[in-house]
Amino acid sequence: RKEVEQDPGPFNVPEGATVAFNCTYSNSASQSFFWYRQDCRKEPKLLMSVYSSGNEDGRFTAQLNRASQYISLLIRDSKLSDSATYLCVVNRGTGNQFYFGTGTSLTVIP
């Protein structure tokens, strides 16, 4: 079973739409959780950390359900600049290394 699983998409949505991405992780020892975004051929960049209580940063809302080992990201009022691949990331291990999902591709259409 994969460490982190995401729906690869692609998601093609019009500007202004709300879109949700889901992610599941297999190892209950996973300790912290993040959403990164990756533009084509670029490095991953932190979008937001994900906390157990859920957290919001502007148009972005992240949720974590430890019991179900499930993470979500909601993007409201999509902008053209939101077009990217969204990476679900979990963190565990003695070296605190990251385990990445394959990413979900989002294209926001004018």
Partner 1 sequence: EPEVTQTPSHQVTQMGQEVILRCVPISNHLYFYWYRQILGQKVEFLVSFYNNEISEKSEIFDDQFSVERPDGSNFTLKIRSTKLEDSAMYFCASKAFRAIQETQYFGPGTRLLVL
Footprint on this chain of partner 1 (rule: CB under 8 A): 31-32, 34, 38, 41-46, 49, 87, 91-103
**Shortest CB 34 distance to partner 1, Å:** 6
Q: Which is nearer to partner 1, 17 or 99 (CB)?
A: 99
Give the Å distances, CA to CA, from 69 to 23, 32, 37, 54. 8, 11, 21, 14
**Shortest CB 33 distance to partner 1, Å:** 9
Q: Which is nearer to partner 1, 9 or 17 (CB)?
A: 9
CB 72 within 8 A of CB 60: no
- Name the one residue in this structure whose structure tokens are 């982190």: 4
Q: Which is nearer to partner 1, 17 or 44 (CB)?
A: 44
3-class SS of residue 81:
helix
**Shortest CB 26 distance to partner 1, Å:** 14
3-class SS of residue 107:
strand
Q: How many residues does the chain have?
A: 110
